[in-house]
Structure 1
Amino acid sequence: MVFSNLVFLFVFLPIVLLVYYIVGNSVKNYVLLLASLLFYAWGEPKYVFLMLFSIALNYIFGLLIDTYRKNLSLKKLFLTIAILGNVLILGIFKYANFFVDNINNIFHTSLELEPIPLPIGISFFTFQAMSYVIDVYRKDAEVQKNLFSLSLYISLFPQLVAGPIVRYNTVAEQIKKRMVHLDKFTEGVKRFIVGLAKKVILANSFGEVADGIFSTPAGELSVATAWIGIIAYSLQIYFDFSGYSDMAIGLGKMFGFDFLENFNYPYIARSVSEFWRRWHISLSTWFKDYVYIPLGGNRKGPNRTIINLLIVWTITGFWHGASWTFMAWGFYFGILIVLERIGLAKILAKLSTPLQHVYLIIIVMIGWVFFRADSFSYSFAYLKTMFGMNATRFVDGQALIYVNDYWMIFALGIIFSIPIIPWLRKKIISLTNYEKAIVPVLSITLPVVYMMLMVVCMILLVNSTYNPFIYFRF
């Protein structure tokens, strides 16, 4: 089930909210747990047992780590087994086919493995479970002795299938006790509507453009069409994923949870390092805290720092999908971050701010080509077309059609990918008597705006069958 599904919006969510607020506080967690398991089982019931196995695995080893805390060797052993168990789950269900195919290609063997469907959100709930046992080992979090509470943490449906990756120590107290008041619930509803609008109005529109262009052989595209395609995909993946994160944060508030922000206008960054401090923040911090720092971080000299960065970013790419193009995408950003660390950042700092933004946008879009394309050959052919190296026309009729049909969506996408609304809010506050002049107007107009956004989303959902979530496959 997805948040932009009519069944979720008009059946599942209203029923869960109604039951949640009717029952007493002692039962609320059980209602949410049952709803979360039903949410996950909706599309593929058998994989709910995989999640239950993951919960049991991490619950047991969390208890063992805590019980034998004073025995360092046993504690390390239990942590190692827990991590290997989680990695094995990912390895079997996400990477097994990839490894078998590559073994066959390298050694000319004929090993056969039935295609294993990818369980939705497996990377997200597995990483959350791993962070729990690691935090218990490090004493960054208390062990959870209530199996149902840990189950709720790992399976909580607002952030279950596409993040943000919620760290246990940030919600442990909220699982025990949380309060919801009208203002918080209202804020959650607003945030959910904004995320839904990002997804349905913007991301789906950009997805139609990107899919149409990337399904065309790169040699048949004009330079302009290739650029339209990658700009569309860059905006699609941003509004798709940040929209989902907004909906997750909004749903969390409706049930009393406060999740950390996952996006902070990444396209206004002026370096790759800054971009990744703004994009998918929960994943970046996860790899920093659980991979980069344990490898030694920047504490073991410059050469080791470079190696650690390249390892982390290659794994980051592989986390996104079982494909060499994903690994190359991660390695590509690792190289760029290394270059910025060893001197490129100082050179960029001497450039004007607009040039720094141009550098970042072009670099990121080149990376998105590898992320979106299905093969290296198509990626390189597409890049050659983008930069006029494929002997194709600069502009063709296809490019003009896309510009004519989607110019308003592109304009809206660019506007809302930068913090223009927060900037306008600050400007208005600084220039007016905000409380007296603006608040009364906003109290009337904003509810109307949110209602209109919701109506537009409903119309588009009813009339469209194109409604994918990019990060569901990760």
Structure 2
Amino acid sequence: MLFNSGIFAIFFICVFFLYWFVFNRSLKWQNVFLAVCSYFFYGCWDWRFMFLLAFSTFLDYYSGLKIANSESRNLRKFWLILTVSINLGFLGIFKYYNFFIESFAELLTWFGLTPHFSTLNVILPVGISFYTFHGLSYVFDIYFGKIKPTRDPINYSLFVSFFPLLVAGPIERATHLLPQVERPRTFSYSKAVDGLKQILWGLFKKVVIADNCAELVNTIFGSHWAYSGSTLAIGAILFAIQIYGDFSGYSDIALGTARLLGFELLQNFRFPYFSRNIAEFWRRWHISLSSWFKDYLYIPLGGSREGMFKTIRNTFIIFLVSGFWHGANWTFIIWGGLNALFQLPSIIFKKNRRHLDTVAQGRLLPTVTETVQVVTTFLLASFAWIFFRAENMTVAVQYVKEMFSASLFSMPQVYSGKVFIVVAIFMLIEWCGREGKYALEKFSDSWKRPVRWVFYYAIILTILWMTGGEQQFIYFQF
């Protein structure tokens, strides 16, 4: 059930009216209803994995209670280790077992051995990395005394399975979402309008930008040996646009959908391609995952408090782990390592905490220095995305070699005026709206109402006009 599908629109309309007009008199029944709808939504992908979600939810809920009620520190640590081990064990079996087996077999062949290992023919459960991290943050926060466990299993189940964020985030924290689950919610017209605007912009990002870029990207990456270096460079840049439109589009739809139901989810993107260095980029890209690794891995490892060497070590650890979180492929690990490498100048020269504001804040145009910084950061990120997009390391290395050949300075072989025009318009709107939580939040506030409505209808018509083949969201595979 894709967010950009007709079936989801019907599903959500039914949920919205029943939630506000039938179950609105009881918070308990509202939460029960949303939890049931969330499991139904997840079951539409594959009903068998509903049991895995339910088991993970029960494990973390029960472990949270045991950690909170245990007077012995050793017993509390036991329950923490147990739930973390089981959660990561399931994640390892479904997502990483075949990767480790195949990598180990390849290693043995280097020593002249011929191993015979069996791999597992398993389907990766949609969203397993996301809801696993939801639960782990909950038990970590209880263990470290940041929150007290909820006694209501329905409330906790809704926190983990809330359908807007279930399959591709953002990765919520119990400290942020659980209190919203536990308190009464009232319908707000202004928040509903804001939610609809964010959904509209998310659909534009996904359907118009990401899906149309995907057609060119798939063509170029699928036959990279047949294209010039300039065309491959365009392919890399278009993939950077595609993955941003795809993933931030999903997040916008998720946040807007949740707002229509009275919830505020964590902001997951803050215009990352307008960053002035890679450190700023990662404060603006997939914020919920970056902050998760910062709080539960980087800081416990010592963060940046124990000297330059350990700061660099810890930075590489979280980026390599982040790459591995994305998938069982060496390409993701290299992608993470490249991003860590790109951060080194900022760390060494202690500039990684610069640029905490918005670029050209309060101004229409950036300075020459800011322009150079933004373009350089975008190109570095686009280069790293090549490894993220490539099927394997062989393809990635070949793509890079072919891209940096003499034909890099030739005329590109692939053209799509329609795609380039809408991407240019998209980036212009994003730039003008960069000081809001999302581009349309304040973009047209100063316009007269008829002009605003013409603008919104133009977006809707563009979405309908440029709707192509229905493509799954990229991050569903993670």
Task: Normalising by structure 1, report the TM-score.
Answer: 0.90
The answer to whether residue 82 in structure 2 is matched with residue 42 in structure 1 is no
Give the helix-richer structure, 1 or 2. 1
The answer to whether residue 17 in structure 2 is matched with residue 18 in structure 1 is yes
In 2, the alpha carbon distance for the partners of 1:297 and 1:440 equals 44
The answer to whether residue 474 in structure 2 is matched with residue 467 in structure 1 is no
- Given candidates 202, 207, 217, the residue that maps to 1:210 is 217
CA contact (8 A) 2:97 2:120 kept: no
In 2, the alpha carbon distance for the partners of 1:198 and 1:302 equals 40
Deviation, 1:98, is 0.9
The answer to whether residue 298 in structure 2 is matched with residue 292 in structure 1 is yes
The answer to whether residue 410 in structure 2 is matched with residue 394 in structure 1 is yes
- Given candidates 246, 257, 260, the residue that maps to 2:252 is 246
Give the equivalent residue in structure 2 for 1:419. Answer: 431
Deviation, 1:392, is 7.3
Residue ranges of structure 2 left out of the alignment (5+ in a row): 109-113, 356-367, 437-443
2:283 aligned partner, one-letter code: R
For residues 216-244 of structure 1, what are the alpha-carbon distances to aligned partners after superposition, in whole Å with 9 as ceiling and x for unaligned?
133x2112211211111010011111111
1:36 aligned partner, one-letter code: S
For residues 257-300 of structure 1, what are the alpha-carbon distances to aligned partners after superposition, in whole Å with 9 as ceiling and x for unaligned?
01121111111111110100011111110000001011111222
In 2, the alpha carbon distance for the partners of 1:422 and 1:122 equals 32
Give the equivalent residue in structure 2 for 1:428. Answer: none
Deviation, 1:358, is 2.6
In 1, the alpha carbon distance for the partners of 2:55 and 2:127 equals 15
SS for the counterpart of 2:116 is: coil
CA contact (8 A) 2:45 2:126 kept: no
1:360 aligned partner, one-letter code: T
The answer to whether residue 160 in structure 2 is matched with residue 161 in structure 1 is no
Deviation, 1:359, is 2.0
Give the equivalent residue in structure 1 for 2:68. Answer: 66
1:205 aligned partner, one-letter code: N
SS for the counterpart of 2:159 is: helix
1:34 aligned partner, one-letter code: V
SS for the counterpart of 1:110 is: coil
RMSD across aligned C-alpha pairs, in angstroms?
Answer: 2.3
The answer to whether residue 398 in structure 2 is matched with residue 381 in structure 1 is yes
CA contact (8 A) 2:80 2:140 kept: yes
CA contact (8 A) 1:205 1:409 kept: no
Alignment size in residue pairs: 450
CA contact (8 A) 2:201 2:252 kept: yes
2:428 aligned partner, one-letter code: I
Residue ranges of structure 1 left out of the alignment (5+ in a row): 425-437
In 1, the alpha carbon distance for the partners of 2:250 and 2:266 equals 13
CA contact (8 A) 1:189 1:250 kept: yes
CA contact (8 A) 1:121 1:162 kept: yes
The answer to which of 108-117 and 452-461 deviates more is 452-461
1:80 aligned partner, one-letter code: I
Q: 1:423 to 1:175 in 2, by over 3 A?
A: closer
In 1, the alpha carbon distance for the partners of 2:45 and 2:320 equals 31
In 1, the alpha carbon distance for the partners of 2:169 and 2:445 equals 33
2:289 aligned partner, one-letter code: L
Give the equivalent residue in structure 2 for 1:30. Answer: 32
The answer to which of 126-135 and 21-30 deviates more is 21-30
Deviation, 1:454, is 3.2
In 1, the alpha carbon distance for the partners of 2:466 and 2:408 equals 36
Q: 1:157 to 1:358 in 2, by over 3 A?
A: same
1:470 aligned partner, one-letter code: I
Task: Normalising by structure 2, report the TM-score.
Answer: 0.89
In 2, the alpha carbon distance for the partners of 1:112 and 1:120 equals 24
Percent identity (aligned)? 35
SS for the counterpart of 2:141 is: helix
2:198 aligned partner, one-letter code: R
The answer to which of 448-457 and 364-373 deviates more is 448-457
Deviation, 1:460, is 4.5
For residues 100-138 of structure 1, what are the alpha-carbon distances to aligned partners after superposition, in whole Å with 9 as ceiling and x for unaligned?
211222223111123211111111111111000001111
Give the equivalent residue in structure 1 for 2:319. Answer: 313
CA contact (8 A) 2:67 2:80 kept: yes
CA contact (8 A) 1:221 1:392 kept: no
